Amino acid sequence: MARPAGRSISAREATIADLRDEFLDRCRAKNLSVRTLEWYEDRTRRFAGWCFDSGILLAKDLATEDLEAFIRSLQNGRYRPQTVRGFAQVAKTLSLFGQRKGFLSSDITRDFEMPRVPKTVIETFSDEQLESLLNRPDPRRWKGIRDRALLLTLLDTMARVSELAGINAVDVDIEGRSIRVMGKGRKERDLPLGRTTARALQKYRNAVDGLRPDDPFFISYRGKRLDRSVISEMVGTYGRQAGVTGVRCSPHTLRHTGAKRFILAGGDVFTLQKLLGHTSLVMVRRYVELGSVDVAVQHDRFSPADSLLRRPTPIRT
């Protein structure tokens, strides 16, 4: 950790900023993904800023009550419950790190209760909304060819938008119908492609000149890599043009929609877990929670009573 010449931290009382700097240095040393580092940098900056505004300058002065007050400030600021919990997790992790490294004299997280997140059914696109969304890109234009390929890939592979934004040409095997992405924890995984998506990617690939193996696969007119914010904005724009309402138009919704359609089509949760890149089934459950309409459709297909009464009747002889 770079520090100005003069008094070392050990020669003075460590500040919240000192704690944050050392924590982030530790995160970088662990070779976390760029996205994860950005997450920690932003959340710890917000927490350190709140501490400064609250007059808490020294790390040793942090207390459980401060963590609770920070969470209340976020809740009063009308942040979504999931967002608040994310901030709480980072503040807790930072405090535990501070206690291990001697910035804090005790574990102030022992009596700190993480805020709960209400269980809700995440809305996904209907078939009609999906068709309308996929029909918005203009197939006569280069941008439309690229965007349709992107939309289909987001839906079909269920990859995170950051994962797709990071792929290079070498990662896309159109003939073998698979792409290789770098997931959380810098873990690579291969994702299969359906035939429809493979054809759309081939059409896009044919429309790009001079694409070398190490070049970004999804590019702008200037040949630059599309970042996740540009892709997210693209999905939202097409959603508005398609008149999609009642559901958030985002890459994450396409990921959820793909996961639910995979299960409804007969896929199993263990395969889905590998496709989504999750280490446990806990998060996978959030992707396959079904709404009331989906439950009714599935019940019509697999009704226990109907299946019993539809059993063939033996012929008496």
Which of 40, 204, 238, 287 is labelled catalytic? 287
> Does the active-site annotation cover 119?
no
What distance in Å separates the CA atoms of residue 154 and residue 267, rounded to the nearest whole number?
18
> Does the active-site annotation cover 287?
yes
Cβ atoms of 269 and 263 within 8 Å: the answer is: yes
Which of 160, 256, 260, 261 is labelled catalytic? 160
> Does the active-site annotation cover 278?
yes
> Does the active-site annotation cover 316?
no
CA dihedral 207, 208, 212, 215 (to 10 degrees): -120
Q: Which H or E run includes 190?
A: strand 188-192
Which of 255, 256, 260, 261 is labelled catalytic? 255
How many Cβ atoms are within 10 Å of 52's Cβ, its own excluded?
Answer: 13
Which of 205, 228, 252, 286 is labelled catalytic? 252
List Cα–Cα distances, 266 to 123, 124, 147, 196, 269, in angstroms. Answer: 20, 18, 28, 19, 10
Which of 26, 35, 101, 184 is labelled catalytic? 184
> Does the active-site annotation cover 160?
yes
Cβ atoms of 145 and 207 within 8 Å: the answer is: yes
Which of 189, 199, 205, 278 is labelled catalytic? 278
What distance in Å separates the CA atoms of residue 151 and residue 148, rounded to the nearest whole number?
5
| DSSP letter for each residue of 261-311 | HHHHTT--HHHHHHHHT-SSHHHHHHHH---HHHHHHHHHHH-HHHHHHTS
- The residue with tokens 């809740």 is 75
Catalytic residues: 160, 184, 252, 255, 278, 287
